[in-house]
Amino acid sequence: MMIKAKINGLALDVTSNSPVVILSPVDSEKVLPIWIGHFEAWAIAMELSGVGSKRPMTHDLLRQVIEATGGKVEKIEITELKEQTFFARIYLTRNGSTFEVDARPSDSIALALKAKVPIFVNEELFQESKGADGEKARHDPEALKERLRNIKPEDFGQYSLE
């Protein structure tokens, strides 16, 4: 079942030097961290902060092309996790028809923010899981809090929008 989600934060995992977007169900404290690329993190951070760019960025361009061809972004869904890779779908409508497009979650989230459409996540992705050795998976809320607790404020420097 898909549940509506919100962006609960954007951080930098200093152990991997990778940005992390943190999603949460709208009505829950559960979290789903998704490690993303630096460019996508920058696009998400700019949109969350309400900072525009002088020229269209890739996600702006994608939205504009969809709209210029008569389409509309309706929603995005983070659908599954396979072999440590998250999968997403972008739902578009045009002339009464709905189209599903396979996409990376990071691009989907950035596009959802640009198009101001809802983000949905497969409820199963928020479930606590344990690895084969009994350790909590990296998307467990407590394990994530512990991992991100060690991040220093200066680690966010490259995402500063000032």
Q: Is the pLDDT of residue 131 over 70?
A: no
**% of the chain at pLDDT higher than 90:** 63
Measured between its terminal Cα atoms, the distance across the chain in Å is 39
The 10 Å Cβ neighbour count of residue 60 is 17
Measured between alpha carbons, how far is residue 133 from residues 1, 31, 66, 86, 147 in Å?
28, 22, 45, 22, 18
Whether residue 152 is predicted with pLDDT greater than 70 in this model: the reply is no
What pTM value is reported for the model? Answer: 0.80
pLDDT tens digits for 53-105? Answer: 888 889 999 999 999 999 999 999 999 999 989 999 999 999 999 999 999 99
Residue-level pLDDT at 148: 55
- Mean pLDDT within 9-34: 91
The burial of 70, by beta-carbon neighbours within 10 Å (0-12 exposed, 13-18 middle, 19 or more buried), is given as: exposed
Topology of domain 2-156 in CATH is: Bifunctional nuclease domain (3.10.690)
User: What pLDDT score was predicted for residue 155?
Assistant: 44
